[in-house]
Structure formats: C-alpha cells, structure tokens
Structure 1
C-alpha cells in the first residue's frame, strides 16, 4: 500500500465513489432505503458538492479510491449547521488513521465556510465509526436535526466547531 492522499473529488471520480459507498453499505448489511444507498446524488457526487460552502473529499491509494467524506449545509435546517456526509471507507482503508485525518480535513473546511456546528447521522451497529466520531468531539443528541431523508439512520451526533 502506498501513501494515501486526501484530495477533493473530481468529475472522473464519480463512478468509483458510488462503488465505494455501495460496497461499504452492502458489507455492513445496511438497508438500501432510508440510507445513502438510495440517494440520487450517489452517481453524481462531484456535481452534488459543486456549490458554495460544500466540499467532498476522496482518499486515493495507488490510483484507487478507498474512502470518502464531505461537508455541506444541513438540509432543511435554518441554523448555521453543516453535516458530515457520506463518510465511507473500504476495509483496506481502515485502521490506518485515515478516518481521523478525513474528519479533521472536513471540519477545517466547515470552519472556513463559517459553520458553527457539525451534525451527522449513523447506524447503531457502526460502532467503530461512532468511536471515531466521539474521539473527535462529536456528542450524541436525542433527536435528528433538519431532514436528510435518512430515516434508517437513528443515531445522531453533533459537534461545535
């Protein structure tokens, strides 16, 4: 394995990114409805984040995309809150400290964009992810914020930035 690099998504990455996200969700046995699996944006992630105050990053290792995550304004929410979105890592990306680097990169961007809080939604059995989020200052909250359409993600977390 070479040195993995974190960089912004390009149009050419769309197909690989959709493949990574679906593969991780399938491996985890996630429902295909009410999760990112069914999101229309999945095939067009570059376009989906090609707007102000939004960015999507990929982790490239030896020419292959092995992980991804982004931040954007939380949908259907009035506050100055962004959402950490679609953070997924293939098995070969895990345990290498890349998750912490990715969160840090996303939060730096969120801060640059002027957001005050960062929200995320996840699944109860994604325990490694939750541990990582907690380690990075996210705390559990009792109810969802905004309306992302991800009704199959009943764990909500928030961090001040």
Structure 2
C-alpha cells in the first residue's frame, strides 16, 4: 500500500470513499461531510497554505485518506479532516500511518489539532483516544458539521 499526497485525478475516488463510509455509519445527511460543497474537489481545496490531504492507494484504488486544514478562527490550531478508510482497509495499520504523517505535518505549522466525528463510529473514537487526542465536551467552533457529536483536541508538546 502506498501513501501519497492527493492528485487531481483522485478527486472522484476520494469522494466515493467518503460517501461510502458515511453511508455505512448512517451519516449520509446534512450536518456532516456528506453535504460539504467541496467534497469532490479536494485536490484544489488542499492547495491552501499549511494544508494537505493524503491518500492510501492499493492496486490503483484509494482505500483511505485524511487531511490537515487550517481553522481561520484559531490560527494555531489545525483540523484533522475527512479521515476515512474503506472497511477492507481497517485494521491494516493504514489509518495509523496516515495519522502519523498528518500529525507530523501539522506539528510543523500548528500548536494543536482538532477533529470532529460521530459517537457511533466507536472504533474511530477509540483510535483517536489511543493516539493522544482528548475528548471535548463541546465543539471548538461552528464548522457547519452540526450532526457531529464527538470532538477531540490533541496538543503538541
């Protein structure tokens, strides 16, 4: 499996990856990534300063991805964004590899990293806690993802 920075040709596959995972967890609704207007244009979106999106590719198929993006209201905090893996890629270690790459990048530009997810994504919630994120009682800001009900922050030392 190969991890690399997103390319323009990946936009369709990344959108399919995310929509497939959202459907699996009943998150194909307003207030989640499902309704993000730029979901099919990540290559362009992640050209922003101090932002990047990585994909994990196996035999030409994108099986996982995640991004780091800035938070305008909190310039020293980034957001771990759109971290998803197809069911067949889970448990392979690819999510940990992606997270390590993303957080290494994030530490060079930010003081801490925020993320939002759904409480019913049990394995994801355990994964974030295991990797040093602390659960918050409320969202850090209004990202438009009002259906998300689990929020985390990891501060870099």
> Please, what TM-score do these two structures have when normalized by structure 2?
0.96
**Cα deviation code 1:62-116 (max 9, x no counterpart):** 11000110001124x234100000001001110101111111110011012x200
Q: Which residue of 2 aligns with 1:25?
A: 22
Shift, 1:29, TM fit: 1.3
* Gap change, CA 1:31 and 1:12, over 3 Å in 2: closer
Asked if 1:80 is matched to 2:76, the reply is yes
> Please, what TM-score do these two structures have when normalized by structure 1?
0.94
In structure 2, what is the Cα distance between the partners aligned to 1:57 and 1:34?
Answer: 24
Say how many residue pairs are matched. 156
In structure 2, what is the Cα distance between the partners aligned to 1:108 and 1:74?
Answer: 17
Q: Which residue of 1 aligns with 2:143?
A: 148
Q: Which residue of 2 aligns with 1:123?
A: 118
**Structure 2: which 5+ runs fail to align?**
none
Q: Which residue of 1 aligns with 2:31?
A: 34
In structure 1, what is the Cα distance between the partners aligned to 2:8 and 2:74?
Answer: 30
Asked if 1:89 is matched to 2:92, the reply is no
Which runs of 4 or more aligned residues in structure 1 lie more than 6 Å from their structure 2 counterparts after TM superposition? none
In structure 2, what is the Cα distance between the partners aligned to 1:98 and 1:130?
Answer: 16
1:99 pairs with 95, 100, 111, which one? 95
Aligned residues of 2:19 and 2:28 also touching (Cα < 8 A)? no
After superposition, the CA RMSD in angstroms is 1.0
Q: Which residue of 2 aligns with 1:59?
A: 56
In structure 1, what is the Cα distance between the partners aligned to 2:154 and 2:33?
Answer: 21
In structure 2, what is the Cα distance between the partners aligned to 1:102 and 1:131?
Answer: 16
